[in-house]
Amino acid sequence: MSEERTAYNRTPPDFDEVTHTYALRGVRLPSVTEIIKAVLPVQYHGATEWHMDRGTVVHQCAAMICRGIRFTHDPQIDGQVQAVKTWLAMRKPEIVSVERLVWRDGPIPYAGTLDGLVMLQGRLWLIDWKGSQSPWDQWQLGGYADALADEGIEVKHGMTVLISEDGKPKESKPVDLRRARNEWKSLLNVYQMMKREGIQDAR
């Protein structure tokens, strides 16, 4: 497993785990998901604080599984934990990075944390664990891929993996990250326009 940050000597943003916010040299950076939510009518039906907390814990468990760390967990998430283990056993990926912080300094800076960067059948893939799958997932992956390109890492393939209570993982259709990156840049430009004009709550 390789957790190399970057070929470049860049200072990473600070990440506040409590508020889930990023800051670079004291300046707050919007996250990939924050930008998408500001531009698109993204809604998570039934996403209570309890569901969001559970999602955070499930992601932490998935990261530990990928890193080979033993842990105990609440039986309420048995299905999600099993789904991650089943996908890994089925796909047998080579894990490259887990919970990797990525960012761009400009011209429109942003940051994010991708779930996984893996090798599958000789190809580099971005994967993201999901409690539900949505059309805008592809642009989230596109944002991560664009930030990785700043490190000289080109990723052309991506997917989300649904991990639900039944313990059975479900892959999304493969995402062409070249297209997703281009569309992400369009979202990023709109976000910057909204920020400039004070439209909605773009920050």
Instruction: Enumerate the domain spans of the chain.
Output: 26-197
Enumerate the β-bridge partners of residue 114: 100
In this structure, what are the phi and psi dihedrals at residue 143, rounded to the nearest 5 degrees? Answer: -65, -40
Give yes or no for a contact between 171 and 159, defined as CB atoms under 8 angstroms apart: yes
Assign domain 26-197 to its CATH architecture.
Answer: Alpha-Beta Complex (3.90)
How do strand 123-130 and strand 157-162 relate by DSSP bridges? parallel
Q: Assign 72 to helix, strand or coil.
A: coil
Q: Which two tokens stand for residue 15?
A: 């990440």
Q: Assign 152 to helix, strand or coil.
A: coil
Give the type of residue at 29: L
Tens of pLDDT along the chain (203 residues)?
334 444 456 789 999 988 889 999 999 999 999 999 999 987 655 556 656 677 789 999 999 999 999 999 999 999 999 999 999 999 999 999 999 999 998 789 999 999 999 999 999 999 999 999 999 999 999 999 999 999 999 999 999 999 999 999 999 999 999 999 999 999 999 999 999 999 866 65
State whether the Cα torsion 178-179-180-182 is positive or negative: positive
How many angstroms separate the CA atoms of 167 and 195, rounded? Answer: 41
